[in-house]
Structure 1
Amino acid sequence: MAIPLTRVGDGAFNHRPSLDAEAEYDRLRDLARAEAEKRNNCFERSKQAYERGNGAEAKELSNEGKAHAAKMAEYNQQASEYIFRENNATSRVPDDTIDLHGQFVEEAKDILERRIRYAQKHGQTHLHVIVGKGNHSENHVQKLKPRVEEVCRELGLQFATEENTGRIYVNLQGGEAVMPPPPTIPHQQQQQHHGGHASGGRPQQQHHQQQQQQDNEPEDLLSKVVRKIADCCVVM
């Protein structure tokens, strides 16, 4: 009998999803669980038939159970791909980050291994892996994090838990996992931020320009989301 996948918890989305998105993810996982129950029932009945000496019935039930197992795997695969696209849209995570929310443990393992190989092939030096803090898991135990760490060890990569304990930093070059410091703000930009005259502009004029830019930010952000929402971080 196939071993069922370990469920991570109900915190599948890293953002507030639409009702349609949440319903679709739940629908696929529910269909997979229903097929798993049918599979188990068939295998149990097949065992009983075999013990009664009815080999033909046992074989028929076993084949029926395998068909349900295949459907279960198909629905889980659809759910895994769906939640990955939702959580890893380029409007939500940068190129050096992968979000594994909503994945079963073995699903997360396979996705991460492919993502690491893809990143290394394209010259990326590091990867931030979002695994969650386990707040939605049973007994608040992180299930993804130990599996991610195991994958890194198997691939000979060093890693470190970030300040946000739901994230892991992985060095893809094989060296020590030391996170780079945050970028510093150039002195000229600091002066502009504090109303200085680094670029020769008048403070009131700069403030007016900044205010106009801030007023346009929601509209610009919305435009970016509309343009990029369909672009997803597809793992090759």
Structure 2
Amino acid sequence: MKSSTIAFVPVIAHEQARLRTDCFARSREAYVNGDGAAAHNLSEAGKRHGASMEKYNAQARDYIFRANNVHLPPDTIDLHGLYVEEAEEILEKRIDAARGRREGHLNVIVGRGNHSVGGVRKIGPAVMELCRKRGLKVEEEVGNWGKLIVTLGQGGGGEQGYGRYGKQQPHHQQQQGPPNDLEEPARRAVPKIFTKLQGCCIIC
């Protein structure tokens, strides 16, 4: 994919989501009106649009993640700019890979919520909860509340797994809005970076 194209990937994904919703709504209407064939066809069309939406969202996710991580040291991962579900999925894989290599810790950049809806942080609390469930100790880096340090040994689990970050910040409910819609992905569409990223591994 050309770098000039990546800025439009979120636009395409949003349009596919709109078409999916429209098809499913029309399918229900056709079913209510007794037109089973039309209802089925519209439902299948909605599924196809949904699959396309997932494909384009994945392309945008991979590009943003690579652009943020290409120059970071091996013990650090940058998750900001992603949806919460995407960040959780990538972090789970990275934790497993790091523990498989017997690494002692992982630095996780979660951002400060500047591009989240309402300026409310979502990735940070989600990372805290994920680590708690896995029994890992996690704490805020001193002087930098946009970065967490995850100890990859057993951190005791439960509330004991929280550092200063967890005590100071509430666990906000995740919101479904995109990260500043198109502004952030478009801003990241830098041709020189994209050229270097073509062969990068996403997770490790």
Shift of 1:66: 0.2
CA spacing shift, 1:178–1:93, aligned 2, 3 Å? farther
Aligned twin of 2:80: 101
Q: Which amino acid is the alignment partner of residue 149 of structure 2?
A: Y
Q: Which amino acid is the alignment partner of residue 138 of structure 1?
A: V
1:18-53 deviation line (CA, Å, top 9, x unaligned)? xx85x5443111111110000000001001111111
Does residue 167 (structure 1) correspond to residue 135 (structure 2)? The answer is no
Q: Which amino acid is the alignment partner of residue 64 of structure 2?
A: I
- Please give the alpha-carbon distance, in whole angstroms, between the structure 2 residues aligned to 1:149 and 1:47: 40
Structure 1 residue runs of 4 or more that deviate by more than 6 Å after TM superposition = 176-179
Residues 25 and 83 of structure 1 are in contact (CA less than 8 Å); yes or no, is this contact kept in structure 2?
no
Q: Which amino acid is the alignment partner of residue 153 of structure 2?
A: Q
Q: Which amino acid is the alignment partner of residue 172 of structure 1?
A: L
Residues 88 and 233 of structure 1 are in contact (CA less than 8 Å); yes or no, is this contact kept in structure 2?
no
Where 2:135 maps in the other structure, the secondary structure is coil
Aligned twin of 1:215: none
Q: Percent same amino acid at aligned positions?
A: 45
1:62-102 deviation line (CA, Å, top 9, x unaligned)? 0000000000000011111111111110xx21111000122
- Please give the alpha-carbon distance, in whole angstroms, between the structure 1 residues aligned to 2:90 and 2:5: 21
Q: Structure 2 matches for 1:1-236, cutoff 5 A?
A: 24-89=5-70, 92-162=71-141, 163-175=143-155, 229-230=196-197, 232=200, 234-235=202-203
Q: Which amino acid is the alignment partner of residue 83 of structure 2?
A: F
- Mind listing any 5+ residue stretches in structure 2 that lack a counterpart? 164-191
Residues 97 and 129 of structure 1 are in contact (CA less than 8 Å); yes or no, is this contact kept in structure 2?
yes
TM-score normalised per structure 2 = 0.75
Shift of 1:139: 1.4
Residues 19 and 46 of structure 2 are in contact (CA less than 8 Å); yes or no, is this contact kept in structure 1?
yes
1:152-199 deviation line (CA, Å, top 9, x unaligned)? 1121111012221111110001137799xxxxxxxxxxxxxxxxxxxx
Q: Which has the larger radius of gyration?
A: 1
- Please give the alpha-carbon distance, in whole angstroms, between the structure 2 residues aligned to 1:59 and 1:38: 16
Where 1:94 maps in the other structure, the secondary structure is coil
Q: Which amino acid is the alignment partner of residue 108 of structure 1?
A: A
Task: Provide the aligned length of Structure 1 versus Structure 2.
Answer: 167
Residues 108 and 147 of structure 2 are in contact (CA less than 8 Å); yes or no, is this contact kept in structure 1?
yes
- Please give the alpha-carbon distance, in whole angstroms, between the structure 2 residues aligned to 1:96 and 1:115: 10
Larger RCO, structure (CA 8 Å, separation 6 or more): 2
TM-score normalised per structure 1 = 0.65
Where 1:165 maps in the other structure, the secondary structure is strand
